[in-house]
Chain A
Amino acid sequence: MKVGLFIPCYMDALEPEVGVSTLKLLERFNLDITYPFDQTCCGQLMTNTGCQKEAAATEALFVKNFAYFDYIVMPSGSCTHQVRANFTAIEQTEDVKHVRRNTYDLVEFLHDIIRVDAFPWASFPYKVAIHYNCNALRGLRHASMSELREPYFSKPKDLLKKVRGVEFVDLERPDECCGFGGTFSVFEEGVSAKMGQDKVIDQYKSGAEYVVSADSSCLMHQKGCAQRMKLPLKYVHIVQILNGDLQ
């Protein structure tokens, strides 16, 4: 199984340790992992602004980097959703279709593809609130959604339950958007920050010690809000718990 690892651009520059954890965790499962060296970004920045023309070359570069893998894995639900749902700025060749079909977010990959049944190396005896990135939740279906009448499920929770000691706490608004929204976080700064503040207050009131998510981008925004408000919350990517990095 040839696996191509994609590390999102913001993670590459600002949260490299999450990238390292992802690589180290995947290495535990005897996979043939490659990190294509010429990778940049998924192009979501341009796509979500409506700029298809400007996104095309970045999408093409992504496909060129990853067309030769059985699976493309990345520690981000949001970037995965971009590739799977929105890579439409370029001609839909067989390579493009292959890449879009075989791109998985790390949670999906662990949960649905290689079906990890235990993380014996990890323990995390803390109270944890889960944050679902909206693309991961409503686009990739990481979990059931509060707006629909459907049976409860949560892939991130399923994985975290396999880690010793994790205790879950519930939020008052379990899947309300935190207001990051990519460029929304700076173009619409006032509303974005207000949404972030409300989100971290909800997390704080829940009694959580850690907030965990499959997306670092939302966490960067929430962490920025919580620190400014001097709330004692810690923010970690799910892979850091699953790989046992924080004990």
Chain B
Amino acid sequence: MSVNMNLNDDALQHETEPKGAIINGNKPIDQLEAANRFILAQAHEKMHDNRLWDLRKKRDAQMHLIPEWEELRQLASDIKEHTLEHLAYYLEIFEKNAKANGIHVYWAIDAEECNAIAIKIMKDHKTRTLVKSKSMLGEECGLRHAVEKEGIIVIETDLGERIQQLDNEDPSHVVVPAVHKSRTDVSRVFTKTLNAQAGNNDIHYLAETQRETNRPYILKAEAGMTGGNFLVAETGAVVVCTNEGNADLSANTPKLHIVTVGIEKVIPKLEHLAVFIRLLSRSALGSPITQYTSYFRGPRQQGGEMHVILVDNTRSTRLADKQFKAGLKCIRCGACMNTCPVFRRSGGLSYGSTYAGPIGLILSPGYNKHKFRNLPFASTLNGSCANVCPVKINIHEQIFTWRVVLAEKGELSFTKRVMMQAAGKILAHPSLYRAAISNADRALKYLPHFLVYNNLNTWGRQRDLPFTPKETFHSWYERNYMKKGKVHE
């Protein structure tokens, strides 16, 4: 494969959009296969890498404007850890205060129950159309599809999420769901689904088309749905952060507002909210704050209703697992995805999971160890993710720990298992090891074959092989030192 160093915009607009991982029931997702297809779409890959690296750079710039940045991260981490230690306590306070505000509160043990509760509320209110703002919990629960099955029209109101809905694709990123698409890709989707002019890929035209076609639904919808970035226990309020104001349209236009939110989103007090608001958008997009930070403390007057569904869906199990509990601190900013060199080159859809990128590597196997067993290997363990995480989740250490857990549970691929058994044996025995690399020809045959137990074609497909020296360090040492009596042993 040749490497094109000068891909221009024209190449991007003419290139076919790469699609995500092949999903086949419970079969392990082959992230690498999808990533390789993503990389073959050279212009898309480059666009994706540049867009997300740009977010990382903006995030760094914001960080440098805040002298107390590292203290803020520590504070945010401490608040989350404290809350998780006393999760039941703060959830009950939230419930009590929310109810006092006139909010209906429900508890859902899993996705199914969450969807069933939401559907029942909507049916009780004779809902034909639901306008929905972006929610990762909604994605996690497959909520949109479940509601659509009941004959209710669901309209996503976030631009990126709407693009993905119309293209029948999951969001590829928790904050920028259509970041893998070019404007021509979006134009193609809108031409097919919204009757947009074919070939018009002007971004203003595209945004306007989405707005004009979405607004009528917002006006006539009987129900609105949002997720929740934070639940403030002290005040019983739900906080939603967006950049398009679409959550406010979804929540405020129809009389019925339903919130679906994970139980880990609760924070104790209003004063703690400021810490997270300062970190969230700076980490996510490199902007000081989201355009809209909406604080829903109760139903609207004049017949409004507000319903909050608190969803567990594996969270209490994670909470009991010391090794992976810290993953619950996540505030879904996506900073780990933006900085991850693997994510930027693979695309979020290659992970075949609601949560992609570094945070996805540690959350996904918690939902299904078998299906997501390959994900913790889609990492070089470089650690950049943990450094950008605003709540200091030890992401790369958890990726490492997942590998150990998966190996123990027999979830390593056959190749990896056999190779590591052989390597473990040879490397523990100096004589076997020396035999394996006894001369340069053998060494080249075994290395990287021997070290990484794969065939040379894999190394050599896009990289030249290392130069083969005449002798190993070991034999050089033997020749120059042992025979001259320089050895101290």
Q: Which residues of A contact B (CB under 8 A)?
A: 7, 9-17, 19-20, 23, 32-41, 43, 45-46, 48-58, 60-61, 86, 134-135, 138-139, 145-150, 173, 175-177, 179-198, 201, 220-221, 223-225, 227-229
Contact = CB atoms under 8 A, between A and B. Distances in A.
Contacts of A57: 424-425, 427-428
B468 A14 contact: yes
Interface stretch (B163-171, B320-328, B377-385): B377-385
B483 interface: no
B295 interface: no
Contacts of B447: 10, 13-14
B115 to A, nearest CB: 35
A194 B345 contact: yes
A148 B74 CA distance: 12
A149 B420 contact: no
B462 A195 contact: no
A34 B488 CA distance: 6
A86 B387 CA distance: 19
Interface in B385-440: 386-388, 400, 402-408, 412, 416-417, 420-421, 423-430, 433, 437, 440
A134 B383 contact: yes
Given A186-B448, A186-B458, A14 B469 contact: yes
B63 interface: yes
B443 A228 contact: no
Interface of B: 3, 5, 32, 35-36, 39, 45, 49, 53, 60, 63-64, 66-67, 69-70, 339, 341-342, 345-346, 376-384, 386-388, 400, 402-408, 412, 416-417, 420-421, 423-430, 433, 437, 440, 443, 446-448, 451-454, 458-469, 471-474, 476-478, 481-482, 487-489
A20 B481 CA distance: 11
A116 B412 CA distance: 45
Contacts of A228: 462-464
Nearest to B33: A190
Given A16-B471, A57-B428, A49 B403 contact: yes
A48 B416 CA distance: 11
Contacts of A39: 430
B430 A38 contact: yes
B357 to A, nearest CB: 13
Nearest to B475: A16
Given A50-B406, A176-B341, A190-B39, A41 B427 contact: yes
Contact of B35 (A12, A15, A190, A225): A190
Given A11-B473, A134-B380, A224-B464, A49 B416 contact: yes
Contacts of B379: 181, 184
B39 A194 contact: yes
